[in-house]
């Protein structure tokens, strides 16, 4: 019984893992490295101890990562807030977990509501669920990557609401049931079958998508992933030599990267070339000194209070966070900036805005960057932003992309609608994402509640595959929320008038206005030109206040919020063919 395992002495974990960790890098106290030679009861006790803290710890300071060495395990692993579970073998099959790996709805009311089940991840292992079904009841900022599930997968808890989500490079032997998920993106994944749909389900590079097409069911399908670099991952070999593996850039792909006779290649960065940062002793200055000397950066779990930005200046530098390592600017500075250089990779970070206003939180390339990086782009994977919630946060722009050819692979950019420091005049944020570079590609773009444009796209040849956005809940009046004369609100997704080429697939914008009499004129604004194209759009009005008058520019019917029948308008193509 799991209740008996909780009584196992905690010191035994360190004793029993000592041999496995003899050559293990110093990951600090918030990373547990497990070996299959360790008694399952000891591992389970540590998992349960962390989950007891993280189960409902939505805005808490704790951060954790569980790393499983190659081998077989028999465990029940619930994944709570700010918890990463990862295998560290060369392939997902190297680490096999029999039993249960699951995410449960985080609501304290025990009503199966998973709409606030944020900030957790599972990567690079295989799992055989005892019941045959793995439950993954999640919403935003939850990453499922590089998994093999020997069974079925459900993306909800007993059909309670969920607002996810993301799956990539994952193989499911059985059925995936999305159920009550409001929206979902699956990239380069595969399964035996898929059931379920709701508002906006997007499949990119999926060889066996479900039958049917937008608008009924609301499935958007893109056969090939045009360009992608999978997220870096940790690997340990038989001699206990550790490295960060960086998958190569790939073009026009379908299916998972590792389940082929010749898995996709990757380069290995040994730990001798990596600086391991710790939140209790590192500062921006100590980190920047290591980066300046050409080191890569591994951020162990915790919060890094930064009085200046982390500066990534060398080409091909990897910055990888474990356990939702959190960057918190303290003096109105950015959290991180990069040079306009080839091959920089950022992955696995949570950016938490500080109380003093930051002009930008992450800046990719300085203003007026002009170099081309098509052969070796900058890439971002699982980069998440939060303004408010844990305390007052303020910024003008969360993520600004100035470098051409940048790839973004899953981001949630969130101005908090609940928690501490939340209010129209408290947690301030103009824009979630501003793109100034050309040829920028984004997969899995979640942007919510900012006070002006959620997304402002100024660069040419941009591509977005899946977009989910709730506009702000809390504009107190229409006068406080108007972008131009005779224009109510700020469009969620704005393509600048100067743009001549842009394309996006699978977009959903939702309103949940707290105060009456507040409307949004257009969910999307874009110039009318043949090479600016949008596919498969939906608007939704929740609660009963206000609404959205048009989907894109002056096209698309208005939402209807009030009973007896809510209307969620859809549009298949823009410009609308003659």
Q: Strand 428-435 and strand 394-401: pairing? A: parallel
pLDDT of residue 414: 98
87 sits in which H/E element:
strand 83-87
Final residue belonging to a domain, choices 163, 190, 223: 223
Q: How confident is the model at residue 2 (pLDDT cuts 50, 70, 90)?
A: very low
Residue 260: partners with Cβ closer than 8 Å, 6 or more residues away: none
Among 277, 332, 289, 292, smallest CA distance to 308 is for 332
Q: Which domain holds residue 7?
A: 2-223
pLDDT of residue 16: 42
Please give the average per-residue pLDDT across 283-308, as a whole number. Answer: 98
Compute CA distances 517 → 384, 483, 484, 563, whole Å.
32, 16, 17, 17
Q: How confident is the model at residue 355 (pLDDT cuts 50, 70, 90)?
A: very high
Final residue belonging to a domain, choices 177, 198, 223: 223
Please give the average per-residue pLDDT across 337-354, as a whole number. Answer: 98
Q: Which residues pair with 304 in a beta bridge?
A: 327
For residue 409, tell me if it sits in a domain: no
DSSP of 259-292:
SSSSPPPEEEEEGGGEEEE-TTT--HHHHHHHHH
Query: Tokens at residue 314, please?
Result: 């060398």
State the chain's mean pLDDT as an integer.
95
Please give the average per-residue pLDDT across 424-448, as a whole number. Answer: 98
d(CA 374, CA 394): 34
Please give the average per-residue pLDDT across 280-288, as a whole number. Answer: 98
Active-site residue (options: 400, 448, 470, 525): 470
pLDDT of residue 264: 86
Count of domains forming the chain: 2
| pLDDT single digits (tens) 508-527 | 999 999 999 999 999 999 99
pLDDT of residue 578: 76
Please give the average per-residue pLDDT across 323-334, as a whole number. Answer: 98
Owner of token pair 């500066």: 311
Asked if 249 and 227 touch (Cβ cutoff 8 Å), the reply is yes
d(CA 415, CA 352): 10
In terms of pLDDT, which residue wins out, 111 or 339?
Answer: 339
| pLDDT single digits (tens) 54-66 | 999 999 999 999 9
Final residue belonging to a domain, choices 223, 244, 269: 223
Q: How confident is the model at residue 339 (pLDDT cuts 50, 70, 90)?
A: very high
Cis omega (within 30 of 0) on the bond before 388? no
Q: How confident is the model at residue 162 (pLDDT cuts 50, 70, 90)?
A: very high
For residue 508, tell me if it sits in a domain: yes
Look at residue 443 and tell me whether its pLDDT is greater than 90. yes
| pLDDT single digits (tens) 168-179 | 999 999 999 999
For residue 205, tell me if it sits in a domain: yes
SS3 227: strand
Q: How confident is the model at residue 422 (pLDDT cuts 50, 70, 90)?
A: very high
pLDDT of residue 117: 98
**Angle (CA) 478 482 486, round 5°:** 95
Q: How confident is the model at residue 183 (pLDDT cuts 50, 70, 90)?
A: very high
For residue 576, tell me if it sits in a domain: yes
| pLDDT single digits (tens) 69-89 | 999 999 999 999 999 999 999
pLDDT of residue 572: 98
pLDDT of residue 19: 41
In terms of pLDDT, which residue wins out, 15 or 111?
Answer: 111
pLDDT of residue 436: 98
Please give the average per-residue pLDDT across 9-36, as a whole number. Answer: 69
SS3 52: helix
Asked if 355 and 393 touch (Cβ cutoff 8 Å), the reply is yes
In terms of pLDDT, which residue wins out, 374 or 264?
Answer: 374
For residue 13, tell me if it sits in a domain: yes
Look at residue 7 and tell me whether its pLDDT is greater than 70. no
- Is 470 part of the annotated catalytic residue set? yes
Q: How confident is the model at residue 401 (pLDDT cuts 50, 70, 90)?
A: very high
Look at residue 541 and tell me whether its pLDDT is greater than 50. yes
SS3 44: helix
| pLDDT single digits (tens) 213-241 | 999 999 999 999 999 999 999 999 999 99
Percentage of the chain surpassing pLDDT 90? 92
Query: Tokens at residue 196, please?
Result: 């379920």
For residue 101, tell me if it sits in a domain: yes
Query: Tokens at residue 367, please?
Result: 């203003």
Compute CA distances 86 → 31, 118, 310, whole Å.
11, 17, 26
For residue 393, tell me if it sits in a domain: no
Asked if 69 and 236 touch (Cβ cutoff 8 Å), the reply is yes
Please give the average per-residue pLDDT across 486-515, as a whole number. Answer: 98
Query: Tokens at residue 390, please?
Result: 């844990």
Please give the average per-residue pLDDT across 295-306, as a whole number. Answer: 98
Q: How confident is the model at residue 565 (pLDDT cuts 50, 70, 90)?
A: confident
What DSSP designation does 539 have? Answer: E
For residue 241, tell me if it sits in a domain: no
Please give the average per-residue pLDDT across 405-434, as a whole number. Answer: 98
Burial class of residue 532 (count of CB atoms within 10 Å of its CB; 0-12, 13-18, 19+): buried
Kindly report the pTM of this predicted structure: 0.95
């Amino acid at each position: 019984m799991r209740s008996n395992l909780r009584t196992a002495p905690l010191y035994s974990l360190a004793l029993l893992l000592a041999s496995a960790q003899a050559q293990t890098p110093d990951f600090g106290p918030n990373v547990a490295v497990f070996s299959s030679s360790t008694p399952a009861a000891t591992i389970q006790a540590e998992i349960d101890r962390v989950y007891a803290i993280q189960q409902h710890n939505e805005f808490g300071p704790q951060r954790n990562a569980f790393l499983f060495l190659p081998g077989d395990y028999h465990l029940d692993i619930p994944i709570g807030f700010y918890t990463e579970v990862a295998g560290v073998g060369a392939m997902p099959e190297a680490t096999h977990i029999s039993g249960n790996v699951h995410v449960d709805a985080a609501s304290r009311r025990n009503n199966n509501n998973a709409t606030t089940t944020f900030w957790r991840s599972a990567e690079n292992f295989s799992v055989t669920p005892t019941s045959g079904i793995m439950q993954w009841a999640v919403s935003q900022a939850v990453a499922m990557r590089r998994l093999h599930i020997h069974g079925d997968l459900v993306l909800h808890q007993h059909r309670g609401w969920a607002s996810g989500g993301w799956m990539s490079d994952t193989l499911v032997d059985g059925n995936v049931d999305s159920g009550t998920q409001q929206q979902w993106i699956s990239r380069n994944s595969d399964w035996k079958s898929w059931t379920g749909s709701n508002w906006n389900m997007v499949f990119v590079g999926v060889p066996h998508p479900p039958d049917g097409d937008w608008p009924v069911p609301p499935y958007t399908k893109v056969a090939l992933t045009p360009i992608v670099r999978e997220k870096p991952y940790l690997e340990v070999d038989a001699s206990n030599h550790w490295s960060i593996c960086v998958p190569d850039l790939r073009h026009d792909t379908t299916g998972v990267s590792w389940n082929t006779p010749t898995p996709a290649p990757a380069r290995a960065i040994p730990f001798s070339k990596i600086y391991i940062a710790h939140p209790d002793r590192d500062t921006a200055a100590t980190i920047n000194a290591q980066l300046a000397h050409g080191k890569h950066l591994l951020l162990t779990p915790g919060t890094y209070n930064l009085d200046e930005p982390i500066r990534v200046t060398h080409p091909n530098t990897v910055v990888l966070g474990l356990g939702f390592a959190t960057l918190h600017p303290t003096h109105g500075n950015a959290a991180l900036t990069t040079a306009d250089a080839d091959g920089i990779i950022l992955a696995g970070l949570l950016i938490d805005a500080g109380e003093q206003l930051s002009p930008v939180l992450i800046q990719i390339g300085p203003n007026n960057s002009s170099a081309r990086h098509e052969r070796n782009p900058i890439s971002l994977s699982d980069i998440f932003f939060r303004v408010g919630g844990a305390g007052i946060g303020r910024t003008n722009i969360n993520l600004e992309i100035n470098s051409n050819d940048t790839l973004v692979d899953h981001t949630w950019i969130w101005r908090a609608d609940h928690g501490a420091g939340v209010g129209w005049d408290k947690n301030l944020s103009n824009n979630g994402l501003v793109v100034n570079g050309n040829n920028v590609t984004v997969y899995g773009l979640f942007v919510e509640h900012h006070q002006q444009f959620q997304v402002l796209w100024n660069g040419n040849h941009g591509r977005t595959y899946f977009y989910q956005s709730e506009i702000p809940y809390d504009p107190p009046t229409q006068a406080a929320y108007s972008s131009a004369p005779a224009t109510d609100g700020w469009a969620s997704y704005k393509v600048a008038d100067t743009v001549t080429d842009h394309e996006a697939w699978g977009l959903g914008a939702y309103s949940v206005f707290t105060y009456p009499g507040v409307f949004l004129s257009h969910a999307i604004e874009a110039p009318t030109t043949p090479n600016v194209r949008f596919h498969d759009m939906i608007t939704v009005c929740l609660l009963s206040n206000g609404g959205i008058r048009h989907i894109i520019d002056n096209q698309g019917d208005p939402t209807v919020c009030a009973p007896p029948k809510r209307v969620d308008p859809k549009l298949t193509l823009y410009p609308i063919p003659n």
